[in-house]
Structure 1
Amino acid sequence: MSSAAVLFDLDGTLIDSAPDLHAAAARMLEAEGQAPLPFEIIRSFIGNGVPKLVERIIGVAGLDMAEHPRLVSAFMAEYDAHSTDLTRPYPGVADALARFRTMGYGLGVVTNKPEASARNVLAALRLAEFFPVVIGGDSLPERKPDPSGVLTAMEQLGASATVYVGDSEVDSETAGRADLPFLLFTEGYRKSPVFQIPHQLVFDRFDGLPALVEPLVSTQRLV
């Protein structure tokens, strides 16, 4: 029997981190003599990693793109100092993870957030114990939607029957490129309507997630 795993995106999937990311962006812009950008704009920038988020901020704020490396460092300093001031897990996340663990699933996080930041947030929110594997945006040469992160996580967990759970277009493409079933959490940071994002199943509450995952994994085990 194949060992089974559930891999998760982090921001917009397990945790609602947009308020802290927006606050970090506001502090970074204030230091540059700029007004903060609206929350919804920053929220729409989440998903492709911090360098891309800062690049988008620079474009909207009219800053000099040559300052991108410095501003990425400034953003991360602001974010890491306050990364769980406002961030919380989505309702039911901890209970669902505990249920998966009881069912014998391996669990991992594959995110475009820097690995150290991801681990710090998971620890602060008391979720780290569930995840023996965390792959960040700087853990490997390529980041999502490149499939290397999920494939590496599967290898580290010793899993073949695996599903990927995320909230965005990037996550859907990642799962597709890794040839994994994708479950779309509809309450996260997607930019497109649900019907435009390839997925196997959708959900909006974590209490029902284990029941959705089990048939997908069982099907893979039979192949």
Structure 2
Amino acid sequence: MARQSGVLQVQGTVGGIVFAKDGSVRQKQSSNKSQFNSSASMQRVRENANEFGTAAKAGKLLRDALRKVVSLASDRLMVSRLAQKMKLILNLDEDNDRGGRQILPENLPALVGFDFNAGSAFASTYYGGVVSALDRATGNHTISLGEMNPSRDVAAPQGATHYRVTGAVAAVNFETGTFVATDAATGESPLTNAVRPAEVLQLARPLGAPDDALVVAVGIDFYQSVNGKLYPLNSNAYNALSVVAVG
């Protein structure tokens, strides 16, 4: 490799020649885009790139569909974790060739149990009963919350005085990139020994396409009462949200 000599200080690219900070000089490499698109040796790389792109788009679509509840409970690596989960679901596609595999509704049950906040898993935060019922015919879905004792059945973080359960259902079409969604929540309840009666969250939405995938997420968020006013606790770090059903 050539090296620059003399007092002239040049850094950057001039006329296809790269002048590096350490004084070395080299020719700028030409783009390998053409090689990437056509070379037989890059076939597997192209296939992987296509599928990672598909998985990333699927993850973004689901995040957008559940945006209202995801915004309450997610960690900084959630986007990449969800993309990885979608790639695993993509790998379950046995109908299409590698490089063109898709997110198929019949493979989406693998999403159940995905926590949007890895630092606060829903299953280890909320021990009350949760049962979802999906009705494609009417579009009227429900999330039933069983009777529970908050002080016993909620693993609340220090400083929390109240909690709220949230739920959402999204009808997502991963082929067209469209969705419709709705959400609901309980009122803010105190974290006391007082038994909370069973409650049903009604999730009515406009009817989507018959082949849309239905994804149900349930979460819990925490509050602190100060002078009679409720404040979200610790920037949502302890809030939990999980996919509980797919239909």
Which TM class, normalised by the smaller chain length? under 0.3
Q: TM-score, normalised by structure 1?
A: 0.24
Largest Rg, 1 or 2: 2
The structure showing larger relative contact order (alpha-carbon pairs under 8 Å, at least 6 residues apart) is 1
For normalisation by structure 2, the TM-score amounts to: 0.23
Larger relative helix fraction: 1
Structure with higher strand content? 2
